[in-house]
Amino acid sequence: MTVGYLGWLIAFGAVCYVYGMTDVLAKIFPIAFLLTLGLAMNTCLMGELVQGRFGTGGYQFFMALWGMLLFSGGIILLFINHRLAPLLEGNKQFMDELSATGVKMRSGDSMPGFLMLVGVILLVWVVILIFSDTLARERRGEPKA
């Protein structure tokens, strides 16, 4: 899962190498690596928590996974919009080729905000399910899991 999360950073590193923007890569890589690695670890921890409680076959696991993926995607998009894009816009050759393909460098903040909102809603729902399952087990007198 960590390699999947870091895929965008690996592709960005290749683009920086091709266009000779190693100075941009040196500025961004440490914080981007730590941010992405932290998000991947949080996703793994949430998956383990839900898997231990409900298993992987139920909808709770997929809700937790999608919640973390959407939230993490929103955080990464905000990082790209506000930290990475301003640095890349300084390279004229890169921006000319990007403009020729019709691709935009930035998205508005509403899309990352929406992704994070949906992710948080799913995660809150999963936490409520975990607490309700815990209370139900305590009422039945089962040992804590």
Q: Where are the domains of the chain?
A: 2-140
Confidence of residue 144 (pLDDT cuts 50, 70, 90): low
Question: What average pLDDT does the chain have?
Answer: 88
Of residues 116 and 89, the one with the higher pLDDT is 116
Angle (nearest 5°) at CA 67 between 15 and 138: 145
What are the tens digits of pLDDT across the range 23-76? 888 999 999 999 999 999 998 898 888 888 888 888 998 999 999 999 999 999
Q: What is the chain's length?
A: 145
Share of the chain above pLDDT 70, in %: 97
Please compute the mean of the pLDDT values over residues 83-98 and round it to a whole number: 84
Q: What is the pLDDT of residue 116?
A: 96
Identify which of 64, 12, 57, 58 has the alpha carbon closest to the alpha carbon of residue 42. 64
Residue 51's contacts (CB-CB under 8 Å, 6 or more residues apart) are 61
Q: Write down the H helix ranges in 21-109.
A: 22-54, 59-79, 85-88, 92-101
Q: What percent of the chain is modeled with pLDDT above 90?
A: 39
- pLDDT tens for 9-30 read 899 899 889 888 888 889 999 9
pLDDT value at residue 2: 66
Q: pLDDT confidence of 145, banded at 50, 70, 90? A: low
The band of 105, judged by pLDDT with boundaries at 50, 70 and 90, is: confident
pTM of this structure: 0.83
Quick one: pLDDT at residue 35? Answer: 93
Contacts by 82-87, CB closer than 8 A, 24 or more apart: 83/28, 83/31, 83/32, 84/12, 84/28, 84/32, 87/24, 87/27, 87/28
